[in-house]
Amino acid sequence: MKPEEAKNFHRLDAVIIGAGLAGLRAALEIGRNGHEVAVISKVYPTRSHSGAAQGGIAAALANTSDDSIEKHLFDTIKGSDYLADQDIAKFFVEESIKTIYEYEHMGVPFSRTADGLINQRPFGGHSAPRACFAQDITGHVLLHTLYEQCVKHNVLFFSEFQVLSLPIENDICRGAVAWDIRHGGLHIFHAKAVLLATGGYGRAWKVTSNAHANTGDGVAMVLEAGLPLEDMEFVQFHPTGLYKHGILLSEAARGEGAYILNDKGERFMKTYAAEKMELAPRDVVSRAEQTEINEGRGIGGKDYVFLDLRHLGQQKILERLPQIYELALNYLKVDAVKEAVPIQPTAHYSMGGIPANIKTEVIKDAKGTVIRGLYTAGEASCLSLHGGNRLGTNSLQDASTFGRVAGKEISNYISQTLLAPLPKDPLAVASGKISRLQSGDVKERHAVLRDRLQENMTKYLGVFRTEADMVKMRGIILELQDRYKQVRIDDRGTVFNLDLIEALELENLLNFSLVIVEGAIARQESRGAHFRIDFPKRDDGKWLKHTLAWLKDGKVILDHTKSVVIFPEYQPQERKY
Amino acid sequence: MEKTNISATVFRYQPGQDTKHRWQTFKLAVDPEYTILDVLNEIHWHHDGTLAYRRSCRSSICGSCAMKVNGRNVLACETPIHQFGSKLKIEPLPGFEIIKDLVVDLEDFFEKLKRIKPYLIVDQPLPDHEFRQSPAELEQIGESTLCILCAACTSSCPSLWANADYLGPAALLKAYRFVFDSRDDGTDDRLDIINDRNGIWRCHTIFNCMEACPKKIKITEYLSRLKVKVVEKSI
C-alpha cells in the first residue's frame, strides 16, 4: 500500500511540532497567512512547558526607567560569556519590542504601571528593569493567549501525538511520522515544511525544573536523522529550584528584592558578585550556591540554602509573587511570608540544541548548509542567541520572536515550493521501535534505566564538572544504551499507552546525553554554565567557537570549526558582576 | 528517610480488556512527603506499567493532572498524601467519558471553550504601543487569567452532570475574562452566546466549582457578574 492510501495520512502545507510559545507563534503566523498548518503536540497546547515560565519576558520598552536595545544587546552578549552569535543577538533585541506590543494587542494581561503602561521589573544580568510580566505567571498567560489566537485563526491541532521520525532525503525534510497517543496508531504528516519547536532537554537530570514532557524529542530526532546538534554541553542550572523537587521558583523573587542566605544567615553573593549580588546571572549564582553547599555552609550543613522573601512583606509577596508563595506552601509547607524557603540549583534551560541560521532554517554543518523544509525555534534550537548562559526573561522572548520569524520564513517557503515526495516506507523506523518494545518478556524496565541516568547526570554533570566525573558518566550512558536493547514494556495495548511513550523518550534521553557528555569532556575551558574544575578559566584562544556533534553508529563525532559571530564593538572581555 | 505505608485504591479501565471499570489496590511504602503524582509514578514505573494518567509540569500550572482523590477534585502534582492519611482512593475526573484508567476525554471541554470566542476581539485601530489599561481595570480580570483549564471545576458541577450540553464553569469563566477586559470589543457577541438554554443560566450558584478550583479562583462570583451583564444588556 502506498503511504497516501493509509487511513492516517495527512497532507498539509506546514507541520509544527511542539505547542509551546515558539510553535504556537509560528502556527499563528502561518495560519494568518492562509496556509494549511497543523500543530502536533504530545500534550494539549495549554499544557506546554512555556506555561511554567514565571518571571517575565525581556524587551527594552523603557516603561519604568531608561533603557535601550543596545544595553539589552550588550547584556545578552555578556550574559552568554561571549559565545552568543552577535548578529543573532542584535536581530533579537531589535525585534523584541514589537513582540511585546503584538502580545499586548492579542490580549495578554500584563501587569501595569500606575499610568497603565506595561510594568517592568529587574532580572539577573539585565542592566535595567526590562522584564515585562504578569504577576509571576508570565509564561502561562502568554501561552494561553497564543492558544486563543490560534483558535481564532483555525489552526489545526493534533494534541497527544508523539512525533517519532522525520522523513528526510537529499537534504529535504518531507514531513513527520507520529504516534496517536489517545487512539494508538501511526500517522504520516506529508508537508512542505516542518518546524521543530519541541523544547529543551532538562529531563535528563534528576533535579530539574522541567516537565515530564521535556525529553528533548526534537533534538534526538535530529541526531537520529544524521544531523548535528550544537553546544549541547551548555545547560543552565537555575539557582532557585525548590529543594528536593527542583521546581522553579522564579528569579522574579530576586527581581523584587529577595535575598539568598547561607547557614550563617549571610547574603553570600557579596563574595561572588559584589555589585549585582542576587541579581547576577544564573550561572554565577548557581556556582556560588553550590560552593557554599560544598564548603559546608548549606543550611544545617545540608545541600540547600535559603531564598528569603520575608522583608518584602505580605502584600508585595501576594501581589507580585503569588505562585511562588503557593508552591512553597504546597510542596514544602513553608509560609514564605514568615519563613525562608529551602532552594538548590536545578537543571533548567538548554542553551544547546538544533543548529539553525537567522531565518530559523536547520543547518547540517559548520558552513551553514541548509536542510530544506526543516526549521527550528525556541529552546529546541541553537541559533546561538544565548551562547554559554541565557539571561532570565530572554527565553520567552526568544521563543516568541523566533517563532514569528519561523512562521514568516515557512510561509514564504511553502508559497514558492512544491511538495517533495515521501521516501519509501516512511513508517519503517517508527513501527520498528514500537513493535520491538511490545514483543517478548520485560527484561529491563525503562524507569529503572531512566532513574540511573537522571541520578548520575545530576551527580556527575551538574554545576561543577571534572574530566574524571564525566568519563564515569559516559561509561554509565554506554552501559544504559546497551541495557536499553532489553527494555520491553508492560502495556501491550495501543490506547493511551504511557509505558510506550516513556520507553521511546528514554532512547532520546540516552542518545542526546551521550552528546552532552562528549561535548563537555572535549571543551577544556569554563564558560557560562559549563564550569570545569580542571580548566577553571575561559579560553578564548582555543574555545571561542561552537561545538557541532553528530551521532554515528553509536559514537559521537565532534567538530569545532563553527566560529562565533563577534562584532568589533563587542569583543570578549572579562565577565564580572 | 523513614517510609510510610499506604494503600492506594485506583480506578482502572483498560479499553479492549475491561468491559467495565474495576478497582485495584496497591500497597506501597513511600516517602511521607510524596504527592499523589509521586504515588502514581511509583505504581506506573515500578509496579504496573499499564496504568495511564496525564501529567506534565509537576508544578500546578499545566493543568494535566486534575483527578478525584478521596472525593475531591485536585491536581495530583501539588497534593501531598499526608492530607489523606494512609488510605487513598484515586479516580478520574467525574462527568467525562473515560478513555483509560485516570485519563478522561477532554475534547468536549475544549470545544465548549471555543464556543464563547475565547480571544480578544478588537474593532478599534491598534495603537503603536500598548493599549493603556489601569491597574484597577486589570484587577477586574486578573484572577480569572489564572485559569489553567484543568477541568476540575467543570467536572465538579452538578448542573453539568445533569445536562452535558451546559457550557460549564471553565468556558464561562473564559467568557468573563474577555467580557470584563477593558480592551475587548466583543462583549455583545459573547453575552448573546452565553444567554442560551445551555449557557450562563444553568449556573445555580452551587459553589462546587470554586471548591474544586486548584487556583482558588472565585468562579461562582465571576459567573454571577456575567449574569448581571446579560440582564443589563436585555433591559
Q: A residues 146-175 near B, CB within 8 Å?
A: 148-149, 151-152
Interface mutation vs chain A, best among B1, B62, B182, most A CBs within 10 Å: B62
Residue closest to A150 by CA, chosen among A43, A47, A32: A32
Give the nearest chain B residue to A158 (CA atoms).
B107
In this prediction, residue A545 carries a pLDDT of 97
Q: Do A330 and B80 touch (CB under 8 A)?
A: yes
Separation CA A277–CA A267 (nearest Å): 8
Please name the member of B48, B53, B134 whose beta carbon is closest to the beta carbon of A112: B134
Please provide the average confidence, as pLDDT, over all residues in chain A.
97
Q: A residues 213-232 near B, CB within 8 Å?
A: 213
Asked if A129 and A13 count as a contact pair (C-beta separation under 8 A), the reply is no
Give A104's contacts in chain B (Cβ within 8 Å): 130-131
Give the nearest chain B residue to A498 (CA atoms).
B52
Which residues is A465 bridged to in the sheet?
A532
- Under 8 Å CB-to-CB from A319, ≥6 apart: which residues? A135
Which residues is A193 bridged to in the sheet?
A14
**Where residue A4 falls among pLDDT bands split at 50, 70, 90?**
low
Give B217's contacts in chain A (Cβ within 8 Å): none
Burial per residue of A461-476, b for 16 or more beta-carbon CB atoms within 10 angstroms, e otherwise: bbbbbeeebbebbbeb
A182 carries an active-site annotation: no
Q: Do A104 and B60 touch (CB under 8 A)?
A: no
Q: Do B51 and A498 touch (CB under 8 A)?
A: yes
Q: Tell me which DSSP letter residue A310 carries.
A: G
Q: Do A116 and B80 touch (CB under 8 A)?
A: no
Give A452's contacts in chain B (Cβ within 8 Å): none
Q: What is the pLDDT of residues A63-99, one digit of tens each?
A: 999 999 999 999 999 999 999 999 999 999 999 999 9
In the numeric block, the cell 540511573 is attached to: A452
> Is the CB of residue A499 less than 8 Å away from at least one CB of chain B?
yes
> Is the CB of residue B33 less than 8 Å away from at least one CB of chain A?
yes
- The CA-based angle A518-A524-A529, given to 5 degrees, is 80
Residue closest to A103 by CA, chosen among A144, A75, A68, A66: A144
Helix axes A394-416, A21-32, angle to 10 degrees: 40
In this prediction, residue B103 carries a pLDDT of 98
Which residues is B87 bridged to in the sheet?
B7
Which residues is B5 bridged to in the sheet?
B29
> Is the CB of residue A114 less than 8 Å away from at least one CB of chain B?
yes
Separation CA A6–CA A499 (nearest Å): 26
- Under 8 Å CB-to-CB from A574, ≥6 apart: which residues? none
Q: What is the pLDDT of residues A25-56, one digit of tens each?
A: 999 999 999 999 999 999 999 999 999 999 99
In this prediction, residue B32 carries a pLDDT of 93
Q: What value does the mean pLDDT take over residues A325-352? A: 96
Q: Looking at CA atoms only, how far is residue A409 from chain B in angstroms?
A: 24
In chain A, % of residues over pLDDT 90? 99
In this prediction, residue A212 carries a pLDDT of 97
Whether the predicted pLDDT of A1 surpasses 60 = no
State pTM to two decimals: 0.97
Interface mutation vs chain B, best among A143, A331, A443, A502, most B CBs within 10 Å: A331
Tens digits of pLDDT across chain B (235 residues): 789 999 999 999 999 999 999 999 999 999 999 999 999 999 999 999 999 999 999 999 999 999 999 999 999 999 999 999 999 999 999 999 999 999 999 999 999 999 999 999 999 999 999 999 999 999 999 999 999 999 999 999 999 999 999 999 999 999 999 999 999 999 999 999 999 999 999 999 999 999 999 999 999 999 999 999 999 998 8
Give B33's contacts in chain A (Cβ within 8 Å): 244
In chain A, % of residues over pLDDT 70? 99
**Number of residue pairs across A and B with CB atoms under 8 Å?**
163
What one-letter code names the amino acid at B73?
Answer: N
Whether the predicted pLDDT of A273 surpasses 90 = yes
What are the phi and psi torsion angles at B85 (to 5°)? 75, -155
Give the nearest chain A residue to B135 (CA atoms).
A112
Give B122's contacts in chain A (Cβ within 8 Å): 105
Please name the member of B52, B78, B145 whose beta carbon is closest to the beta carbon of A498: B52
The set of cell numbers assigned to A226 is 544524521
Please name the member of A104, A140, A495 whose beta carbon is closest to the beta carbon of B100: A495
Q: What is the pLDDT of residues A87-131, one digit of tens each?
A: 999 999 999 999 999 999 999 999 999 999 999 999 999 999 999
Burial of A170 (0-12, 13-18, 19+ CB in 10 A): exposed
What are the phi and psi torsion angles at A228 (to 5°)? -85, 165
In this prediction, residue A6 carries a pLDDT of 64
What was the ipTM of the complex prediction?
A: 0.98
Return left, alpha or beta for B101; rule: phi > 0 is left, psi -120 to 50 is alpha, else beta: left
Give the count of beta carbons closer than 10 Å to the beta carbon of residue A54.
Answer: 27
Q: Do B49 and A326 touch (CB under 8 A)?
A: no
In this prediction, residue A7 carries a pLDDT of 72
Asked if A178 and A187 count as a contact pair (C-beta separation under 8 A), the reply is yes
Give the count of beta carbons closer than 10 Å to the beta carbon of residue A239.
Answer: 31
The set of cell numbers assigned to A366 is 559548520
In the numeric block, the cell 521516501 is attached to: A423
Q: What value does the mean pLDDT take over residues A422-440? A: 94
Residue closest to A233 by CA, chosen among A505, A555, A512: A512
> Is the CB of residue B13 less than 8 Å away from at least one CB of chain A?
no
Q: Do B148 and A149 touch (CB under 8 A)?
A: no
Task: Please identify which of the residues A282, A404, A450, A488 carries the catalytic annotation.
Answer: A282
In this prediction, residue A2 carries a pLDDT of 58
Q: Do A213 and B46 touch (CB under 8 A)?
A: no
Give the count of beta carbons closer than 10 Å to the beta carbon of residue B180.
Answer: 18
Separation CA A304–CA A320 (nearest Å): 25
Asked if B102 and B52 count as a contact pair (C-beta separation under 8 A), the reply is yes
Q: What value does the mean pLDDT take over residues A206-228? A: 98
The set of cell numbers assigned to A485 is 536493547
In this prediction, residue B234 carries a pLDDT of 85
Asked if A209 and A247 count as a contact pair (C-beta separation under 8 A), the reply is yes
> Is the CB of residue A493 less than 8 Å away from at least one CB of chain B?
yes
In this prediction, residue B35 carries a pLDDT of 96
Asked if B131 and B184 count as a contact pair (C-beta separation under 8 A), the reply is no
Interface mutation vs chain A, best among B47, B53, B54, B57, most A CBs within 10 Å: B57
